[in-house]
Amino acid sequence: MFHSQVKSYYVVVMIRRNGKSYTKRFYENRCGGEQTTLKLAQAWRDTIIAAHPPMSMAQFCAIVRINNSSGISGVFHKTHAKRKNSRGEPESHAWAARIPLGNGKTRIQSFLVQTYGEAGAKQRAIAAREQGLAALGNTLYKPEQQPEPISSAADIEQLEAKLRAPEERRKQRAAKRIAKDQHVAQLAAKKQTAAEIAAEQALQKATSSGEPYISRYIGATERSGFRVSIVRQGRSYRKSFADGIYGGTTAALEAAKIWRDQTFVALPAISKAQAVTRIPAANTSGVAGVYLRREVVDGKRREAWVAYAPKQAGKLNRTKGFSIAKYGEKQAFALAVQARRAFVAELTDVPHLPKHAAKQMLFAVQLAMSEPVITDQDRDVG
């Protein structure tokens, strides 16, 4: 037979034992050809036959049929209607047993109620039936229809290996998942370490002046000083503070810091959600953070629209895929776009600080806001 979806011919084995059916298909493209497929199918059939032997003739005869009225298979009550008494009533009653002969034929053995009594006649019929079934021994029911085992030990071993293959593949996939989870955990630990190092670096000096956004320039004695440079959304905000104008290096640096702090607060950074809306030149979907993934898994080609979350320091990369085979091209793309928007929405309150100096300034501002304010009254108490 040919399976149109699997695109392969196959052999099907169907065996029924004691009211239960056993069915299995063996495909040529998976088993390695027509001859190997047939051998595997025969080996599976032989294992089922060995585990579930066919019904014996005695077992078949012991089945109580629907039309049985005595409650015992092969035992029934009969009346000789031709023999009647003076009142016209049947005068001959008997319990009878149907005795199988093992050659497809049966004989009837009767026990008259008039001779043995009702209970005695029935009991003798039951005993005759049981004796007849015992005489059948191990004779099979319809032996001509029972297949003979033909598989060798090598065929059985090959079948067992084939049947174990799916479980082994599942174990391999489970092992790969465990290894992948361990790898992801290691990456998370590395990223966490990198984030901690970055946080420590944020406390270090960012420029030659020792202050973020402030650099020291050297010229003539009266022209040396500090320069503040802040860039927001492509626009630069700069101002120089010369030592000669502010009365020395210390005063010039303090003036630069005051202007820098005022400018930094007046020009808040855009959020991460705003920064990630730019569509890269290599993007083919038309939506930032959404791409088409094509891969081959177990010989099958799979396609899916995937949304990925913007990268964040110290956090693992996240993606969410939608199968085209499951949702269709348009719905899978729409779901990926929706997932990307959800990822971006999480970054609405996260400031976009690509520069190291910006991170350092933000840390300094947050630290200043968290420090307790000491009033004159507190000083008096101290």
Asked if residue 220 and residue 288 are part of one domain, the reply reads no
Task: Give the pLDDT of residue 377.
Answer: 46
- Helix residue ranges, H only, 239-349: 243-246, 249-266, 272-275, 324-327, 329-345
Give the count of beta carbons closer than 10 Å to the beta carbon of residue 344. Answer: 21
Asked if residue 278 and residue 264 are part of one domain, the reply reads no
Nearest Cα to 62, choosing from 72, 52, 53, 51?
72
Q: What is the pLDDT of residues 90-148, one digit of tens each?
A: 567 889 888 888 777 888 888 888 888 888 988 998 898 888 888 888 777 777 677 77
- Strand ranges (E), 155-248: 214-217, 225-232, 235-242
The SS3 of residue 173 is: helix
Residue that terminates a domain, selected from 268, 290, 325: 268
Residue that terminates a domain, selected from 233, 268, 303: 268
Higher pLDDT, 307 or 277: 307
Note the pTM of the prediction, 2 decimals.
0.37
- Across 159-173, 244-258, 260-274, least confident range: 260-274
Instruction: Answer whether residue 296 shows pLDDT above 80.
Output: yes
Q: Is the residue at 143 inside a domain?
A: no
Q: Is the residue at 43 inside a domain?
A: no
In whole angstroms, what is the distance from residue 110 CA to residue 108 CA? Answer: 6
- Residue 55 is which amino acid? M
Asked if residue 310 and residue 227 are part of one domain, the reply reads no
Residue that terminates a domain, selected from 242, 268, 294: 268
Give the count of beta carbons closer than 10 Å to the beta carbon of residue 109. Answer: 16
The percentage of residues in the chain with a pLDDT greater than 70, rounded to a whole number, is 84
Q: What is the pLDDT of residues 371-382, one digit of tens each?
A: 554 444 444 434
Asked if residue 257 and residue 203 are part of one domain, the reply reads yes
> What is the 3-state composition of the chain as percent helix, strand, coil, each rounded to the nearest 5?
45, 25, 30
Residue 309 is part of which domain span?
274-345
Q: Is the residue at 63 inside a domain?
A: yes
- Residue 193 is which amino acid? T
Structure tokens at 72: 């015992």
In whole angstroms, what is the distance from residue 209 CA to residue 193 CA? Answer: 28
- Residue 204 is which amino acid? Q
What is the average pLDDT across 55-69?
A: 80
In whole angstroms, what is the distance from residue 259 CA to residue 95 CA? Answer: 120
- Residue 264 is which amino acid? F
Q: Is the residue at 374 inside a domain?
A: no
Q: Is the residue at 23 inside a domain?
A: no
* DSSP line for 182-203: HHHHHHHHHHHHHHHHHHHHHT
Nearest Cα to 16, choosing from 65, 52, 57?
52
Q: What is the pLDDT of residues 150-205, one digit of tens each?
A: 888 888 888 888 888 888 889 999 999 999 999 999 998 888 888 777 666 554 44
Asked if residue 262 and residue 202 are part of one domain, the reply reads yes
Band the pLDDT of 356: cuts 50, 70, 90: low
Task: Give the pLDDT of residue 90.
Answer: 58
Q: Is the residue at 284 inside a domain?
A: yes
Q: Is the residue at 263 inside a domain?
A: yes
Beta-carbon contacts of residue 294 (< 8 Å; ≥ 6 apart): 301, 302, 303
Q: Is the residue at 88 inside a domain?
A: yes
Asked if residue 247 and residue 203 are part of one domain, the reply reads yes
Instruction: Answer whether residue 243 shows pLDDT above 80.
Output: yes
Instruction: Answer whether residue 230 shows pLDDT above 80.
Output: yes
* DSSP line for 141-153: SSGGGSPPP---H
Asked if residue 309 and residue 262 are part of one domain, the reply reads no
In whole angstroms, what is the distance from residue 128 CA to residue 291 CA? Answer: 82
Could you give the number of structural domains in the chain?
3
Task: Give the pLDDT of residue 180.
Answer: 92
